[in-house]
Amino acid sequence: MAIKVGDRMPEGSFGVMTREGPGSMAAADLFRGKKVVLFAVPGAFTPTCSMNHLPGYLEHAADFRARGVDTIACMAVNDTFVMNAWGKDRQVGDKVVMLADGNGAYTKALGLELDATGFGMGHRSQRFAIVVHDGVVKQLHVEAPREFKVSSAEHVLENL
């Protein structure tokens, strides 16, 4: 069953790159006491994700901060090395936290999996954006198949 507005974000963890190498971040540490926009993409370096989705959040990072968002986080079912390389390639800096859900466990806990085996990509995450206040889902924007509208930075900003 997919997560819905009013639900608490599930427990779990994400892979993150640290100065010492691959590390882990608990979901509780990401969400506790903060206003977070978590957006997910089907895959790092893929066309819509690289050319539209992530760049929108980078472009509007200051606008999100001005509206009280503490953290913008991007999640994909990719490993920590790929998410780190994608962040460097897209010059993310400290504007967006790049989260690896390497085995798709967090995506599955959210109930937002995508079967992309027909495209040779295995099981991934649906494209979505969630606005979270202190661990509770306040807004949930899940894209229809092959769409990119409601999870865009612009749409989420309009609804904050």
Quick one: tokens of 123?
Answer: 């099981």
Per DSSP (E only), the strands in the chain are: 13-18, 21-26, 35-41, 71-76, 97-100, 113-115, 123-125, 128-133, 136-142
With a CB cutoff of 8 Å and minimum separation 6, the contacts of 121 are 42, 43
Quick one: tokens of 42?
Answer: 């089907």
Q: Which of 84, 75, 65 lies closest to 124 in space, CA to CA?
A: 75
- Has 74 been annotated as catalytic? no
| Catalytic residue selected from 27, 44, 49, 98 | 49
Catalytic residues: 49
